[in-house]
Structure 1
């Protein structure tokens, strides 16, 4: 006797492109200005102005207007896949990673283990925020050749309240940018 299994349902193809991103995120105020769409665009047609009040991406091609993309019409979906505010992706990610969806009390997501940490390096601990773990981890990754550089946020020399994207390639640069910035910064543009 032969048992026949039905094949799993095929996932619907992702077709959303700049046009949907523009209409659903950019013009509605959902855009955080993270620049994810800018740095991932393989066609280099999304611009960004890192200036106060203008932290929004914009389309550079004019053929279809600023709200549409010629590459998107041909099937490119990279910008919408990179955007953390485009539609709801958490449910699909939770199912893929954990095999279930979030419970009402799991607003921060599903986690397996919660760790409280702090840097053992005294300088990283003192310069960092809440224990300096991220700074210490970046330093360790750099010194052990796991990464060549890290995207971090620094501050403008004349305005300590204005964050600016920076690239840290060594311990000194990590420590110079250690600590939290309680303001917006598009680190991918560093």
Structure 2
């Protein structure tokens, strides 16, 4: 059985390499809110991580297995003719908020949706 990984891996593979976009996704999805703090545009571990791995899965800069994700979401791997992945419809979007665009990745769509929802 594979050992669960947590925020320590995010620190090693994303934060220490200065790859963090500051999107706060890891901070927002952490089930134990006291574990992380968000300061100066970066998450910081302040208590022991429970190693649920959720932060790793939402981080846009952490390694992601596309096949594993597609199996989880769609119950199958993509076929060779599905070059863009498994989808019903493709849409393109981008935030119009300059502040969001400056600190986001790939157009800031998720960031603007999260800020609007909260």
The TM tier, using the shorter chain, reads 0.5 to 0.7
What RMSD over aligned residues (CA atoms) do the two structures have, in Å? 3.4
Specify which of 42, 49, 53 is matched with residue 71 of structure 1. 49
Counterpart in the other structure of 1:91: 67
Change (3 A) 1:60 1:114: closer
For 1:92 and 1:23, the matched residues in 2 are separated by 22
The structure with higher relative contact order (CA 8 Å, sep 6+) is 2
- Structure 2: segments with no counterpart, 5+ residues: 105-110
* CA distance in structure 2 between the aligned counterparts of 1:71 and 1:115, rounded to whole angstroms: 36
Q: Which structure shows the higher strand fraction?
A: 1
**Residues 32-83 of structure 1: per-residue CA shift (max 9 Å, x gap):** 222111012222221113xxxx42211223xxxxxxxx233xx433322332
Give the number of aligned pairs.
107
Runs of 4+ in 1 over 3 A off after TM superposition: 101-105, 112-116, 185-190
Q: Of 45, 58, 66, which aligns to 1:59?
A: 45
Q: Any gaps of 5 or more consecutive residues in structure 1?
A: 1-11, 62-69, 117-128, 131-152, 156-160, 164-181
Larger Rg: 1
Q: 2:32 aligns with which of 27, 43, 46?
A: 43
Normalising by structure 2, what TM-score? 0.63
Say yes or no: does 1:162 pair with 2:99.
Answer: yes
| TM-score using structure 1 length | 0.43
Q: Whose helix fraction is larger, Structure 1's or Structure 2's? A: 2
